[in-house]
Structure 1
């Protein structure tokens, strides 16, 4: 029961943060778009994008230090991990955004494009994970 409450609180915090970003900054909280803009040296926007990304990394590090049992170390090889990251990066470019931008922000704005994109992300993710787990053994 405690994990359900924590998930509910976490979801509410994500929704609140996304709403505040849209209301006060006029921006969708899509992580891939924020990171891409930071790495592309978008004029006048690097400061807030960098602060956002540092907050994500710092928040994860803070939780890792205080609650290390929440993190699992993968037994996957570095090659598989790098390939997975590259596929995710390619997918976010191909899908014009990631699950945070489309799934959290787009669906909450009733965007049909985001609804379709999220359905495709999730369906393909489930399919690939099932295939890898059952047939390839990764």
Structure 2
């Protein structure tokens, strides 16, 4: 089972929300990770520099925590095949849903976007069903 970490989870949520707020205030952009990652792939757009900096912060933050003495678990509890399949499914969802979980779930919900509320409800429902099926129907323990 996953360890219950309410304080670290709350702190992480605050940092994610704060970074999304700063991005909106400084650049007027939504912190949707899929669009940010897509923006640093060729062909590079005019705003690739802030996207690269945002991603660098997302990658370097856990490293900074581990250097600062916090235990950061970098393990991935599923196979490479499962990661690839999950990535493809998420990519299809991002395409048809006009955005990713961070764009809709964090930024869209904060802006009271009806489209984001529907998207968030949809991916949360599918996440709940997926976890139920994997753990209780197929008996896979992650």
Matched, 1:36 2:63: no
Q: CA deviation at 1:120?
A: 0.3
Unaligned runs of 5+ in 1: none
5 Å matches for 1:1-138?
Answer: 3-65=5-67, 66-68=69-71, 70-71=72-73, 73-138=75-140
More helix by share: 1
Aligned pair count? 136
**d(CA) in 1 for partners of 2:81, 2:14:** 35
**d(CA) in 2 for partners of 1:38, 1:49:** 7
The RMSD of aligned alpha carbons is 2.2
TM-score where L is the length of structure 2: 0.82
**d(CA) in 1 for partners of 2:34, 2:8:** 25
**d(CA) in 2 for partners of 1:102, 1:40:** 25
Contact 1:22 1:28 in 2 (8 A): yes
**d(CA) in 2 for partners of 1:111, 1:79:** 35
Change (3 A) 1:78 1:27: same
TM-score where L is the length of structure 1: 0.84
For 1:24-43, what per-residue CA distance to the aligned partner results, in whole angstroms no more than 9, with x for missing partners? 10101111111112225342
SS at match of 1:38: coil
Unaligned runs of 5+ in 2: none
